[in-house]
């Protein structure tokens, strides 16, 4: 297939029609706000907290926030790509827990197994889910819901119905994964940075990224355009599983054990982060970096709530709920402003 413009098109038109789609200033601002609203909120929040709580801006506190975020960031990243295609992955919380257990159990065979086993197992679950979603008409909601139950069931089997908690050997190199540092930042943070960078690259600079957005934006058109719709869906859910497994492994390394009760509701936290970051839940458009911002924002809010003395995680939940609503409403208003100056067709 040729890459150069088809010669047949050269100067095919007698005259040129200039189409300037006017962007009002309000619309430009709205678009900016939608894309970067979460970042702006985060920046403001951080500044406010730095002023209000002197102990906020300590290296210790900030790196704590960074590390905590980096455990969940891979999850949110995987979810972001799934949402690009207009799908959803409700299984990531359970798969995350499964990853942790697999890592803890595998750590007795060495650090390599401790990392590869969760990746393989969780990736496999993602692969199966992706295949079902790509090849049947069953909605992703249902398939990953089943995945949630299945993964948790598997988890229970591996741990004797939840009674066994595998511990990572105290001298295992696997622990270094979460505790070691490089240039002052923990490995998980670096992993997250690399993942986000790769994610942005894939989205903007690869055919696969455009395909995902096309599938989410207008799937029938994508089919007719000859894009590999099925394959892209299978891949995206597999990657989501892989990343959930990775996050689980990182957590297991940090806590030195495979806790089985983790991750309940985590998928919804991931979805919250994605929404906060500015990606459309309906698919077709979005930002990778935004999801990272969303995760960090949630962590900072958690930090804030702790400092306000409301150590009860329930207040956390309430605030997260309100925050989600506020941001979502803001985004809707912004989209409405943008839609208003779209030209009408007859």
Partner 1 sequence: MSTQATAQESRTEPGRARRRPDAAWVARNGVYLALVVLVLLNIVITPYFVSASNLRLQLIQAAPVVIVALGMSLVIGTKGIDLGVGSVMALSAAIMPLYIGYGTLPAILVGVAAGLVTGFVAGTLVSRLGLQPIVATLAIFVGGRGLANVIGGQIKNLSDPGLVRLGSGSTLGVPNTVLVAAVVFAVVWFVVRRTTFGRGVEAIGGNPRAAELAGLRRARILLIVYMVAGVLAAVAGVLAAARSQASDPRTLGLLMELNAIAAVVIGGTPLTGGKVRVVGTVAGALLMQLLVSTLVAQDVPDSVAQMIQAGVIVVAVWVQLGRKRS
Partner 2 sequence: MTTTSPPPPATAEQPTTPALQADGVTKRFAGVTALSGVSFSVQPGSIHALVGENGAGKSTLIKVLTGVHRPDEGRLLHHGAETSFGRAADAQAAGISTVYQEVNLVPLLSVARNVFLGREPRTRLGLVDVRRMEREARQITRDLGVDVDVTGDLGRLGLGIQQMIALARAVSIDARVVIMDEPTSSLERREVDTLFTVARRLRDQGVAIVFVSHRLDELWQLCDAVTILRDGRVVHTGEMATLSRRELISHMLGRDIDDVAAHGATGFGDAPATAGATGAGSAGGASPAPAGALVGSGVGSTTSTPALSADPVLSVTGLDARAALHDVAFDVHQGEVLGLAGLLGSGRSETVKAVYGALATDGGEVRVGGRPVRRNSVRASLSAGVALLSEDRKAEGIVPELSVRDNIVLAVMDRVSTFGVISDRKVDALVDTFVRRLGIKVSSPRQLVSQLSGGNQQKVLIARWLCTEPRVFLLDEPTRGIDVGAKREVQGLIDELAARGLGVVLISSESDELVEGSDRVVVLRDGRVSARLDGDDVTSSRLLAALVGDPASDDAAGTDPEEGAR
Q: Which does 1 bind (CB under 5 to 8 A by kind): partner 1, partner 2, none?
A: partner 2
Nearest approach, Cβ of 175 to partner 1 (angstroms)?
Answer: 28
DSSP state of 136: S
User: Could you tell me the end-to-end alpha-carbon distance of the chain, in angstroms, rounded to an integer?
Assistant: 35
Q: Please say which residue, 197 or 322, places its beta carbon nearer to partner 1.
A: 322
Task: State whether residue 283 is helix, strand or coil.
Answer: coil
Q: Binder to partner 1 among 137, 170, 183, 224 (CB under 8 A)?
A: 137
For residue 147, how many other CB atoms are within 10 A of its CB? 25
Contact status: 320 vs partner 1 (CB under 8 A) = yes
Q: Please say which residue, 213 or 298, places its beta carbon nearer to partner 2.
A: 213
For residue 52, how many other CB atoms are within 10 A of its CB? 11
Q: Would you list the DSSP string of 154-197? A: HHHHHTTTTT---B--TT-GGGHHHH-EETTEEHHHHHHHHHHH
Nearest approach, Cβ of 73 to partner 2 (angstroms)?
Answer: 23
Q: Please say which residue, 21 or 163, places its beta carbon nearer to partner 2.
A: 21
Q: Binder to partner 2 among 218, 306, 316, 335 (CB under 8 A)?
A: 218
- From the list 17-25, 50-58, 134-142, 289-297, the region that binds partner 2 by CB under 8 A is 17-25
Nearest-10 crossing angle of helices 229-255, 187-205: 170
Rg of the Cα trace of the chain?
A: 22
Contact status: 303 vs partner 1 (CB under 8 A) = no
Question: What is the rounded CA–CA span in Å between residue 152 and residue 253?
Answer: 20
Q: Please say which residue, 140 or 196, places its beta carbon nearer to partner 1.
A: 140
Query: Are the C-beta atoms of residues 275 and 64 closer than 8 Å to each other?
Result: no
Applying CB under 8 A, the residues found at the interface with partner 1 are: 90, 132, 136-139, 141-143, 145-150, 152-157, 161-162, 265, 268, 271-272, 275, 281-282, 312-322, 324-325, 328-329, 332, 336
Applying CB under 8 A, the residues found at the interface with partner 2 are: 1-6, 8-22, 201, 204-207, 210-211, 213-214, 217-218, 220-228, 284-285, 340-346
């Amino acid at each position: 297939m040729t890459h150069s413009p088809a010669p047949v098109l050269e100067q095919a038109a007698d005259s040129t029609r200039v189409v300037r789609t006017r962007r009002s200033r309000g619309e430009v601002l709205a678009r900016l706000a939608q894309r970067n609203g979460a970042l702006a909120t985060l920046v403001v929040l951080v500044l406010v907290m730095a002023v209000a709580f002197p102990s906020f801006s300590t290296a210790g506190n900030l790196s704590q926030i960074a590390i905590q975020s980096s455990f969940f960031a891979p999850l949110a990243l995987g979810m972001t790509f799934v949402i690009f295609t207009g799908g959803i992955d409700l299984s990531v919380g359970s798969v995350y827990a499964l990853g942790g257990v697999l890592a803890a159990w595998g750590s007795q065979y060495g650090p390599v197994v401790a990392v590869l086993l969760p990746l393989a197992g969780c990736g496999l679950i993602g692969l199966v889910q992706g295949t079902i979603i790509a090849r049947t008409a069953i909605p992703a909601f249902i398939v990953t819901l089943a995945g949630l139950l299945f993964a948790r069931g598997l988890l229970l089997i591996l741990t004797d119905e939840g009674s066994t908690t595998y511990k990572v050997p105290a001298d295992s190199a696997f622990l270094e994964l979460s505790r070691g540092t490089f240039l002052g930042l923990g490995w998980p943070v670096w992993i997250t940075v690399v993942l986000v960078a790769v994610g942005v690259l894939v989205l903007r600079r690869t055919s696969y990224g455009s395909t995902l957005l096309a599938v989410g934006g207008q799937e029938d058109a994508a089919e007719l355009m000859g894009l590999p719709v099925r394959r892209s869906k299978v891949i995206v859910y597999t990657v989501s599983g892989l990343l959930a497994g990775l996050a689980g492994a990182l957590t297991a390394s940090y806590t030195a054990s495979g806790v089985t009760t983790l991750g309940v509701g985590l998928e919804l936290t991931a979805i919250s982060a994605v929404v906060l970051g500015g990606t459309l839940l309906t698919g077709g458009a979005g930002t990778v970096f935004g999801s990272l911002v969303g995760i960090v924002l949630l962590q900072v809010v958690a930090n804030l709530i702790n400092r306000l003395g409301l150590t009860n995680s329930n207040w956390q939940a309430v605030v997260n709920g309100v925050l989600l609503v506020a941001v979502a409403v803001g985004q809707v208003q912004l989209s409405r402003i943008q839609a208003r100056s779209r030209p009408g067709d007859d």
